[in-house]
């Protein structure tokens, strides 16, 4: 397993692989890898001859008051995770390698980015789309792997690939949870012991909402009201949103009659966490 810092090195290595007829899987990350990332790398290495993992904390997708400066980093630990999960190459560029002086081209999206995290984090998806488009152009993968925990991001990337005719298959992989239900996230490291306990309210409300749907409830407002009540009872939790949206458009719905997504964002102390469940068999 190799780590490179420049676009030229990634291009040289992946071009050689393609020349040999090898397929390339790609897992974009912002580092501080956990079992969720490892599951993406494992899925990629099971289905492709070679797997590239990018570790790049993308400043463009953070708003001015967000946690860019405090976001956890540990590239040595990341290398061990990538190696153990079967990755072949880490691309770990500096911001100056990705955004040269005078950089002024962006990939932006309407509709799908207007709700959920797009509403609370106005610059976020422009930063995500721009960096992912750049990474796709650098790595030129056959397939790219994204976690379903970032459900809106997955939908946005699928849409971008379709809109811009990028010849890449996008694979969504299941949410990986701690034994206690908490969805794995690099941001979980911010939580104190009491906040970790409080954060369990996210998955508890998700499981309750999912149970209501499985038992036949189709009124989105009823499900949202129950989930909101449960989360609001936790003193350390502050709701950003609890919403049910159409899976295709990410716009809010009243009744679940088509594939949908129930997504939540909740502050536990200062840490903003997200979780969700997909409603696919309606």
Give 61 or 276: the residue with its C-beta nearer to ligand PAF: 61
Give yes or no for residue 81 binding ligand PAF (CB under 6 A): no
Q: How far is CA 176 from CA 8, 88, 181, in A?
A: 34, 22, 9
Q: Which of 25, 28, 93, 118 binds ligand PAF (CB under 6 A)?
A: 28
DSSP assigned state of 252: B
Q: Answer whether 139's CB lies under 8 Å from 10's CB.
A: yes
Q: Which stretch binds ligand PAF (CB under 6 A): 23-31, 192-200, 224-232, 241-249?
A: 23-31
What six digits make up the tokens of 153?
């991001």
Q: Work out the widest C-alpha separation in the chain, in whole angstroms.
A: 58
Find the binding residues for ligand PAF in span 133-162 (CB under 6 A).
150, 153
Q: Catalytic amino acids?
A: 37
- Under the binding rule (CB under 6 A), the answer on residue 44 touching ligand PAF is no
d(CA 246, CA 178): 28
Q: How far is the CB of 278 from ligand PAF (least distance, A)?
A: 17
Smallest distance from the beta carbon of 79 to ligand PAF, in angstroms? 17
Nearer to ligand PAF, 56 or 278 (CB): 56
Q: Is the backbone of residue 171 left (phi > 0), alpha (psi -120 to 50) or beta? A: beta
> Interface with ligand PAF includes 29 (CB under 6 A)?
yes
> How far apart, in whole angstroms, are the C-alpha atoms of residue 92 and residue 5?
5
Contact between 55 and 90 under an 8 Å Cβ cutoff? The reply is yes
**Interface characters, 95-134, with ligand PAF (x: CB under 6 A):** ---------------------------------x--xx--
Q: Cβ of residue 114: shortest distance to ligand PAF, in angstroms?
A: 18
Among 10, 24, 30, 231, indicate the residue that binds ligand PAF (CB under 6 A): 30
Closer to ligand PAF by CB, 53 or 242: give it.
53
Cα dist from 155 to 63, 90, 130, 160, 172, whole Å: 21, 25, 15, 9, 9
Query: How many residues in the shown chain lie near ligand PAF by CB under 6 A?
Result: 10
| Segment (H or E) for 158 | helix 151-163
Q: List binders of ligand PAF among 175-234 (CB under 6 A).
A: none
Tokens 């298959």 -> residue = 169
Question: Of the two residues 30 and 213, which places its CB atom closer to ligand PAF in the complex?
Answer: 30
Half-sphere exposure of 271 (CA within 13 A, CB side): 21
Q: DSSP letter for 231, please.
A: H
Q: How far is the CB of 282 from ligand PAF (least distance, A)?
A: 27
- In the bound state with ligand PAF, the residue whose beta carbon lies nearer, of 29 and 188, is 29
For residues 144 and 53, give the distance between their C-alpha atoms in angstroms, rounded to a whole number. Answer: 10
Residues within the interface to ligand PAF (CB under 6 A): 28-30, 58, 61, 128, 131-132, 150, 153
């Amino acid at each position: 397993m190799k780590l490179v810092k420049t676009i030229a090195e990634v291009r040289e290595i992946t071009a050689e692989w393609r020349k040999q007829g090898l397929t390339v899987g790609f897992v974009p990350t912002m580092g501080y890898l956990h079992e969720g990332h490892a599951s993406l790398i494992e899925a990629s290495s099971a289905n492709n001859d070679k797997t590239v993992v990018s570790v790049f904390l993308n400043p463009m997708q953070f708003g001015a008051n967000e946690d860019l400066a405090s976001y956890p980093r540990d590239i040595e630990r990341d290398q061990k995770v990538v190696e153990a999960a079967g990755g072949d190459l880490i691309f770990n560029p500096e911001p100056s390698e990705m955004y040269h002086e005078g950089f002024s081209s962006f990939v932006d999206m309407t509709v799908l980015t207007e709700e959920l995290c797009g509403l609370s984090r106005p610059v976020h998806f422009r930063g995500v789309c721009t960096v992912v488009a750049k990474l796709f152009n650098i790595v030129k993968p056959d397939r790219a792997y994204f976690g379903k925990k970032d459900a809106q991001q997955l939908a946005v990337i699928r849409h971008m690939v379709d809109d811009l005719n990028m010849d890449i298959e996008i694979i969504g992989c299941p949410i990986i949870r701690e034994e206690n239900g908490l969805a794995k996230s690099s941001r979980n490291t911010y939580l104190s012991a009491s906040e970790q306990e409080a954060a369990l309210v996210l998955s508890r409300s998700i499981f309750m909402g999912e149970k209501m749907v499985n038992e036949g409830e189709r009124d989105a407002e009823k499900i949202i009201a129950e989930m909101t009540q449960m989360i609001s009872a936790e003193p350390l939790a502050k709701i950003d949103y609890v919403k049910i949206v159409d899976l295709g458009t990410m716009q809010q719905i009243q009744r679940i009659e088509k594939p949908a997504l129930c997504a939540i964002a909740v502050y536990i102390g200062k840490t903003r966490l997200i979780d969700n469940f997909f409603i696919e068999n309606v």
